[in-house]
Structure 1
Amino acid sequence: MAKSLNPTGSTSFDRLLALIETLRGENGCPWDRKQTPSTVTRYLIEEVYELVDAVLSGNPDAVCDEAGDVLFQVLFVVHLFSEARHFCIQDVIEKNIQKMVRRHPHVFGNVTAKTPEKVSENWDRIKRSEKSGNQRASLLDSIPAGLPALARAAMVSERAAKTGFDWNDISGVMAKAMEEWEEFSTELAAADGAEGSDTASMEFGDVLFTMVNVARFARIHPETALIRSIQKFEERFRHMEAGAAEAGRDMNDLTFKEMHTLWDEAKGKFY
């Protein structure tokens, strides 16, 4: 007889935990039973990105759906460690509650922090004190190497800036961005069409990293900003494809002028 996932008085959270336990059980799913913490990380990352896409799309139904998938993957990872008797979900929750209370002394203690900037400053100070027993060679060591490049660049930039190694204002970093662009343009011209110029590639990377710093001064997260721009382009391009199809044409057969006519129509529809 199949195990019930709706025992009397159980909460939705309990039912989700029971579902994972059933999938991992003796008569559960062969695929789920085969998974390990390292194999599940791939799916966790994928689901987090799908959740980010949903949030940026502004679709509450999609956010609800994708948030459930992320929650399932997180609980699945916790269950794997629980099976190995390292810790259980209650340990995870209790440890996180203690950490959040400890890092919000302006709410649960007598520390004053009336601005988001002061809260962030206190958070970093508390976090450093928590890790004082785990000596690191650099402030940058705790940044996950597997982060997407723009998100990693943003974290590196923020950590470095908090030591005082920074521009005075956004005009300074924007001037630096222009300087980096000129250096890239010079190297690109010198490469004269050569494929894979290492120097031009490095200079282009400098342009991107400096623009990440511009975004930091403007209080814009570069990763989410780029995701939104990509989504906007995709919507406009799909509109162009649909327009071409309605006219019985293929995108590859359109003239430059015809393409830009469709693009202008798409821009008016998808800002």
Structure 2
Amino acid sequence: MENMQKLIDIMAKLRDPKDGCAWDVEQTFETIAPYTIEEAYEVSEAIDNNDMDALKDELGDLLFQAVFHARMAEEAGHFNFDDVVGAISDKMIRRHPHVFGDENYRNAEEQTVAWEEQKAKERAAKKQHSILDGVTVGLPALTRAVKLQKRAARVGFDWPETSQVVDKLNEEMAELSAELVAENKDHDKIEEEFGDMMFVYANLARHLKIDPEQALKKANNKFTRRFNQIETEVENSDKSFDEYSLDELEEMWVKAKKAEK
């Protein structure tokens, strides 16, 4: 707790209009928000790399973001860091009555159901009446798509069979293809159809119990790994990238792909 108070005091000093840091003093919720998101992703990256030293540092950076936002809120008279800690503590106790209350033991599946029921009650108390209320707009689009679809599925608005999702995906791909070959191409319409297709891709991932963000992250890493091998081969040759034909580069790609098997 001494270290926590130390960090809170450091933040207050940094935000001091007279003796603080000019950059920190100038920041607002809006300007700091992108850094908060970035720090959360860096925490995720440290976990993916199983780098505990990095994870310790990144969690500290993310904690600092919470302290930063709480300090700005305190200055504006909204709440302080203690209020933030109190609110999340109360929420965790409220959502775990089987641990902190009199309810019986729940297994993981039962707790997931109860968690969602409690969240629904909390949304109702906030006068959020739509099934889709509370799904954060700031989430990565694929992640938000899955969460929206999960909410709709709770009231039966969902394809019962994965094959039906695949059929819908084929339908959306056909609609996109039609826009691409249209005589008068409409970029906005093409973007719309592409978005529809991606939304169904997210739905297919949900049906397959795949996290689409995680799947795409792995695909990005795989592409980077294989492309780096192509770069190494080019660097060790007597030609530059632009002197290779696409067929030659594709041959290197296939070689890099086979090397991983």
Fold match by TM threshold 0.5? yes
Q: Which residue of 1 aligns with 2:222?
A: 232
Q: Which runs of 5 or more structure 1 residues have no equivalent in the other structure?
A: 1-9
SS of the aligned residue for 2:218 comes to helix
Aligned partner of 1:167 among 133, 148, 159: 159
| Cα distance between partner residues in 2 of 1:92 and 1:58 | 29
Take 1:261 and 1:62, find their aligned partners in 2: how far apart are those partners?
37
Contact persistence 1:235–1:270 (CA under 8 A): no
Deviation by residue 1:81-132 (Cα, 9 ceiling, x = unmatched):
123343222221121111111112233331453242x322211211121232
Query: Aligned partners of 1:248, 1:232: CA distance in 2, in Å?
Result: 26
Letter in 2 for 1:172: Q
- Matched residue, 1:77: 69
Distance 1:242 1:132, change over 3 A: same
Q: Are residues 1:256 and 2:246 paired?
A: yes
Query: What amino acid sits opposite 2:243 in the alignment?
Result: D
Q: CA deviation at 1:169?
A: 3.0
1:205 positional shift: 2.0
Instruction: Measure, in 2, the Cα distance between the counterparts of 1:28 and 1:198.
Output: 47
Amino acid aligned to 1:202 = E
* Consecutive unaligned residues in structure 2, runs of 5 or more: none
* From 111, 114, 134, the counterpart of 1:119: 111
Q: What percent of counterpart residues are identical?
A: 37
* Cα displacement (A) at 1:77: 0.8
Aligned counterparts of 1:267 and 1:18: Cα–Cα separation in 2: 53
Please state how far the C-alpha of 1:69 moved relative to its aligned partner: 1.7
Matching residue of 1:93: 85
* One-letter amino acid of the counterpart of residue 71, structure 1: L
SS at match of 2:133: coil
**1:4 corresponds to:** none
**Which of 33, 54, 60 does residue 46 from structure 2 map onto?**
54
Deviations 1:117-162 (A, max 9, x none): x322211211121232322352223222233221221121111111
- Choose which of 152, 158, 176 in structure 1 pairs with 2:150: 158
- Distance in 2 between the 1:27 and 1:267 partners? 57
- Once the two structures are superposed, residues 163-183 of structure 1 have per-residue CA deviations (whole angstroms, 9 ceiling, x without a partner) of 111111323322322332233
TM-score scaled to structure 1, two decimals?
A: 0.83
Q: Pick which of 153-162 and 202-211 moved more.
A: 202-211
1:113 maps to a residue whose letter is: R
Question: What does 1:171-190 correspond to in 2, within 5 Å?
Answer: 171-189=163-181
User: Structure 1 pair 60/254, CA: closer, same or farther in 2 (3 Å)?
Assistant: farther
Q: Closer, same or farther in 2 for the Cα pair 1:178/1:106, shift >3 Å?
A: farther
Q: Take 1:158 and 1:144, find their aligned partners in 2: how far apart are those partners?
A: 14
Deviation readout 1:232-265 (Å, 9 max, x if unpaired) = 2123223322321122432222122331233234
1:19 and 2:10 equivalent? yes
Whether 1:149 aligns to 2:141 is yes
Task: Note closer, same or farther for the CA distance 1:134–1:13 as it changes in structure 2 (3 Å cut).
Answer: closer
Change (3 A) 1:148 1:107: same
Question: Do 2:123 and 2:133's aligned partners in 1 also have CA atoms closer than 8 Å?
Answer: no
Cα offset, 1:268, TM superposition? 4.6
Equivalent position SS for 1:78: helix
Name which of structure 1's ranges 168-177 and 56-65 shifts more when overlaid on structure 2: 56-65
Which one scores higher on RCO, CA 8 angstroms, separation ≥ 6? Answer: 1
Partner of residue 245, structure 1: 235
Counterpart residue identity of residue 223, structure 1: E
Q: TM-score, normalised by structure 2?
A: 0.86
Question: Which residue, out of 193, 200, 203, partners 1:210?
Answer: 200
Which residue does the alignment assign to 1:5?
none
C-alpha separation in 1, matches of 2:117 and 2:69:
30
Q: In structure 1, give the amino acid aligned to 2:76.
A: A
| C-alpha contact 2:123 2:134 (8 A) present in aligned 1 | no
Count residues with an aligned counterpart. 259
